Amino acid sequence: MENKILKCTISYDGSKFYGMQYQPNKKTIISQIKKALNRLNIQTQILHAGRTDKGVHALNQVISFEVPIYWDINKLQKILNQMLMPEIMFKKIEVKQNFNPRFDAKKRSYRYILSPTTNPFIDNYITYYPIPINTQLLQNALNLLKGRHDFEYFAKTGSDVNHYIREIYDAYILKYKNFHIIKIIGNGFLRGQIRIIVDFLLKINENKLSLKDLELQLNKSKLINKHLAKPNGLYLERIWYNN
């Protein structure tokens, strides 16, 4: 039977999952979507634009899979949302033949949200950080990251990639109400890269590390700090494609 490829834009609450990737006997985004599709008698492989760690959220993650050609995509979207919401939401489904969500992506953006206050209703969705933030200092640090660099020292150990060269197009910090938001846009990111960068930034803010330390690690002159910031405040924000 002939199939069609679907490009799906989804959002999810990462605090409810052990990450994006399938893991045996673990509740992950892929495993839950696959269960829902299996209930509809759709047996298919699910591809995704990038994997997020346990506790990391997504506003506009992109996945793809094949379905029999007779499926109406509006009906499918409605049924999947009935099965998966509120933890996972299918925001958009479109037919897109010869589409690969990972290799066709042109750039991606992440945001990281810091809050000086916390409570049980927001704790899973922000990173509690009660220390005053020097936005100009952190913007100076973010400016150093812009451009094309070898980010090997900003990747989780064991990252399965051919190379560590990535380009950051823009990076900035802004204040919105009571929150500070760090936003980074690039052509792609390594496993743990954003969280390692954020942890480095916060240590610079606390005068535990310096801009010079960041330069040394960025140039691979010295490995200084490779700790991960908490996942709570991290969001995969957007993925760009040519069309």
Residues classed as catalytic: 53
What is the rounded CA–CA span in Å between residue 77 and residue 90? 6
Q: Where are the alpha helices (DSSP H) in the chain?
A: 29-39, 73-84, 135-145, 193-205, 211-218
Confirm if 28 and 88 have CB atoms less than 8 A apart: no
Cite the beta strand spans of the chain per DSSP E. 3-12, 47-48, 57-68, 88-95, 107-115, 127-128, 147-150, 165-176, 179-186, 234-240
What is the rounded CA–CA span in Å between residue 211 and residue 205? 10
Closest C-alpha among 238, 182, 235, 199 to residue 56: 235
What is the rounded CA–CA span in Å between residue 150 and residue 116? 33
